[in-house]
């Protein structure tokens, strides 16, 4: 079934079509979730950030000027909500230690509560070990890039507040790091490195995404 | 990747469409004491208090109504204390994940709503000239 284009979806939503709303939320939910989780919000805060983003879209439906860029609008909105929530919770908990390196420092020391559930088998475990050894900025980028359905580069740019032109090269560098970490991990454990298809699907995500 | 959103997040996303408000005017957030770089509330803070521990004040304006309110936290639940200007004293509600509840507003426009779970909230009131005004959603 061909996916309806987002401009058409927004048009239908504006006319009150709840089915179109469901298609739109299904399409972008994973992206919004990955952005919130990439910013190291816990489940409850990530859920609030995502929900406020949907409510804000409903609130501003008639004011969205470029419906075809709705994904980027959503990505920017959820990122800002996450920043707001982080700032407010940081202030509600005054005893929290100042982490060196700001967010990246904090991200490096925060345990991801979902990780335990993610470690389904040895290969996943190895992949996630390597993933968490990456720079936090790489982790954020890969989380967002690996969202299903795959986001456009414009949406990734909005999600991470980074120029579109830097996404491709940064992604290459991050994947190279990930491969090296996996190889080191395997060497340390005296195993064969995980098969290439276990690494994030580089080949299926060509640079053509940028012009989707 | 495997970090998928919980089912409740998807269900809430679908239900968000029910919050669509066709007849209301929007009162937008005009000041937030916990926003980066917001200086509007600076004078209320004692200079020796860390901003992180300062009071959390929000102001909304639009549709002929102004709302000023403070958010207080107590044992993980929240309380809103505020004042409405330009609204009639009837028909004021708070929308949150828990549903819609009536907000009692006194003759001076003051209100208190206690025992709110953290999450997105908005107020929906009627202005003195009869317009329905809704504040922008804010995550408390």
What is the least distance, in Å, from the CA of A165 to any CA of chain B? Answer: 23
Q: What is the mean pLDDT of chain B?
A: 84
What CA–CA distance (Å, rounded) separates A158 from A173? 20
Domain boundaries, chain A: 1-96, 101-212
Closest CA to B50 of A80, A83, A95: A95
Q: What confidence tens digit (pLDDT) does each residue in B42-64 have?
A: 444 433 334 445 688 999 999 99
CATH 1.10.1740.10 fits A1-96, yes or no: yes
Which of A109-113, B104-108, B134-138 has the highest average model confidence (pLDDT)?
B134-138
Collect all residues of chain A within an 8 Å Cβ-Cβ radius of residue B20. Answer: 16, 58, 61
Complex ipTM: 0.83
Collect all residues of chain B within an 8 Å Cβ-Cβ radius of residue A16. Answer: 20
| Chain A: residue whose CA lies nearest to B53 | A91
Domain boundaries, chain B: 23-139
What CA–CA distance (Å, rounded) separates A152 from A212? 6
Closest CA to B23 of B135, B134, B120: B134
Q: Percentage of residues in chain B with pLDDT exceeding 90?
A: 53
Q: What confidence tens digit (pLDDT) does each residue in B1-16 have?
A: 467 899 999 999 999 9
Closest CA to B12 of A185, A50, A139, A107: A50
B87 φ/ψ angles, rounded to the nearest 5 degrees: -110, 155
Q: What confidence tens digit (pLDDT) does each residue in B106-128 have?
A: 988 999 999 999 999 999 998 88
Tell me the two tokens of residue A160: 């991470």
Q: DSSP readout, B8-39?
A: HHHHHHHHGGGG--SSPEEEEEEEETTSTT--
Q: What confidence tens digit (pLDDT) does each residue in A173-201 have?
A: 999 999 999 888 777 766 655 554 444 44
Q: Counting one residue from A and one from B, how many pairs have CB atoms under 8 Å apart?
A: 109
| CB of B36 less than 8 A from some CB of A | yes
Fold classified for B23-139: Immunoglobulin-like (2.60.40)
- Are A51 and B16 in contact (CB < 8 Å)? yes
Nearest to A54 among B13, B21, B54 (CB): B13
């Amino acid at each position: 079934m061909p996916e309806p284009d987002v401009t058409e979806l927004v048009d239908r939503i504006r006319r009150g079509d709840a089915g179109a709303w469901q298609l739109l939320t299904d399409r972008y939910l994973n992206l919004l979730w990955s952005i919130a989780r990439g910013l190291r919000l816990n489940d409850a805060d990530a859920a609030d950030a995502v929900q406020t983003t949907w409510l804000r879209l409903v609130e501003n439906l008639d004011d969205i000027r470029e419906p075809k860029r709705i994904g980027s609008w959503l990505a920017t909105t959820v990122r800002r909500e996450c920043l707001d929530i982080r700032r407010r919770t940081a202030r509600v908990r005054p005893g929290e230690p100042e982490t060196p390196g700001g967010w990246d420092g904090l991200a490096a020391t925060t345990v991801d509560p979902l990780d335990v559930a993610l470690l389904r088998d040895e290969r996943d475990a190895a992949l996630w070990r390597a993933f968490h050894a990456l720079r936090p900025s790489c982790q954020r980028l890969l989380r967002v890039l690996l969202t299903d359905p795959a986001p456009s580069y414009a949406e990734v740019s909005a999600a991470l507040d980074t120029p579109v032109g830097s996404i491709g090269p940064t992604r290459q560098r991050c994947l190279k790091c990930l491969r090296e970490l996996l190889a080191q991990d395997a060497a340390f454990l005296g195993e064969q490195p995980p098969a290439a298809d276990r690494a994030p699907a580089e080949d299926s995500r060509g640079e053509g995404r940028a012009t989707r | 990747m495997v970090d998928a959103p919980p089912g409740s997040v998807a269900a809430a996303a679908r239900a968000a469409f029910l919050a669509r408000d066709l007849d209301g005017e929007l009162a937008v957030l005009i000041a937030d004491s916990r926003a980066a770089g917001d200086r509007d509330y600076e004078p209320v803070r004692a200079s020796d208090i860390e901003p992180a521990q300062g009071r959390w004040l929000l102001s909304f304006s639009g549709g002929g109504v102004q709302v000023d309110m403070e958010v207080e936290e107590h044992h993980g639940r929240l309380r809103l204390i505020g004042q409405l200007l330009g609204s009639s004293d009837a028909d004021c509600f708070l929308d949150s994940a828990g549903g819609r509840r009536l907000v009692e507003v006194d003759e001076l426009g003051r209100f208190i709503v206690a025992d709110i779970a953290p999450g997105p909230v908005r107020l929906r009131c009627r202005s003195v000239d009869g317009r329905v005004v809704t504040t922008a959603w804010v995550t408390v």
